[in-house]
């Protein structure tokens, strides 16, 4: 089974794919953009895709929300974990002896506090992170290092020289697995959530009337988020998440009532949470 993920080899997106589908025999396919993941699904090159959708400190991934509105894909499972980044190098290396650090600019930014305190290290931004890591391993230079997660260090055979150098040690990132067909968790699965998106009529109280469908059916909304609609200017797409399954009687009733107050309604799916198989903090 093939799974596309947004990121380079060894990224936390690839780790998320491995953990969410630990019960399957998988092959992962890296994509440079979230759009690439959606395209791979649409072209049937892969069976699933994995993308970041939210970070507890940086908020929602807007590009993914826009792609959800433009396509027809479904969430099938999710995973939450802290993305830890380490200074990593050769097995005979030492943090005190590092002169050059290669890493993706985004990762260097996430670890800027630690790196700014070590002016003896030359920071070299590389967009081709996976290829750069492979080349660094082949050179075997103990004065070179990179900044990467635990998963990348393990698959590239690097030694963690200084663990957890990221600026924030409390942020949690949420990844989801996407599919072109709707899947429901098996009946006895716990911790199931559902996501839907909708757009409203331009009339007083439209949002209140729409949300009343959930209140009247005893559904607690765990998240409500609005995003500008790229199809119709000055219109907004509203995303809501709540515990439960699409086939639960009260949820079916609530969605039927919600449909009366919307101009567009799309089911993003019911899905369950997967626990990381290895410690990430």
For 86-162, CATH gives: 3.40.190.10
pTM for this predicted structure: 0.88
For 38, 128, 195, 210, 266, the CA distances from 104, given in Å and listed in that order, are: 23, 7, 32, 43, 36
- 8 Å CB contact between 148 and 110: no
> For the segment 54-86, what is each residue's pLDDT rounded down to a tens digit?
998 888 898 999 999 999 999 999 999 999 999
Residue 38 C-beta-side C-alpha neighbours within 13 Å: 17
Helix (H) / strand (E) containing 249: helix 249-259
Kindly state the tokens that stand for 90.
């050769």
Strand spans (E) along 169-234: 173-179, 192-200, 223-228
Q: Is residue 14 scored above 50 in pLDDT? A: yes
Instruction: Return the higher-pLDDT residue of 57 and 89.
Output: 89
The yes-or-no answer to whether 2-82+172-180+192-274 and 86-162 have a common fold is yes
> For the segment 224-259, what is each residue's pLDDT rounded down to a tens digit?
998 887 777 678 899 999 999 999 999 999 999 999
Domain boundaries, the chain: 2-82+172-180+192-274, 86-162
Q: How far apart are CA 37 and CA 274, in angstroms?
A: 21
- 8 Å CB contact between 92 and 140: no
Of 168-172, 200-204, 228-232, the range with the highest mean pLDDT is: 168-172
For 2-82+172-180+192-274, CATH gives: 3.40.190.10
- 8 Å CB contact between 54 and 60: yes
Q: How far apart are CA 234 and CA 238, in angstroms?
A: 13
Q: Which residue has the tokens 């908020």?
A: 59
pLDDT bracket for residue 201 (50, 70, 90): confident
- List the one residue out of 31, 278, 237 whose CA is nearest residue 154: 278
> What angle, 0 to 180 degrees and rounded to 10, lies between the N-to-C axes of helices 249-259 and 206-215?
170
């Amino acid at each position: 089974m093939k799974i596309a993920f947004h990121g380079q080899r060894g990224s936390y997106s690839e780790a998320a794919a491995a953990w969410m589908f630990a019960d399957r025999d998988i092959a992962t396919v890296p994509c440079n953009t979230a759009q690439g993941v959606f395209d791979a699904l649409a072209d049937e090159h892969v069976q699933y895709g994995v993308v970041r959708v939210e970070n507890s400190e940086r908020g929602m991934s807007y590009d993914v929300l826009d792609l959800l509105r433009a396509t027809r894909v479904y969430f099938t499972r999710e995973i939450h974990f802290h993305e830890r980044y380490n200074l990593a190098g050769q097995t005979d290396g030492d943090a005190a002896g590092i002169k050059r650090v290669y890493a993706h600019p985004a990762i260097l930014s996430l670890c800027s506090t630690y790196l700014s305190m070590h002016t003896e290290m030359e920071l070299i931004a590389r967009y081709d992170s996976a290829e750069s890591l492979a080349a660094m391993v082949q050179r075997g230079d103990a004065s070179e290092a990179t900044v990467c997660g635990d998963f990348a260090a393990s698959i590239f055979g690097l030694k963690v020289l200084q663990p957890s150098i990221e600026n924030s040690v409390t942020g949690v990132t949420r990844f989801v697995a996407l599919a072109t067909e709707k899947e429901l968790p098996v009946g006895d699965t716990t911790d199931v959530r559902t996501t839907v998106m909708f757009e409203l009529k331009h009339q007083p109280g439209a949002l209140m009337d729409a949300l009343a469908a959930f209140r009247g059916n005893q559904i607690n909304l765990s998240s409500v988020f609005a995003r500008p609609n790229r199809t119709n200017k000055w219109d907004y797409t509203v995303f809501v998440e709540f515990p439960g399954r699409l086939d639960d009687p009260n949820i079916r009733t609530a969605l039927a009532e919600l449909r009366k107050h919307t101009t567009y309604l799309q089911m993003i799916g019911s899905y369950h949470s997967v626990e990381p198989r290895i410690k990430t903090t």
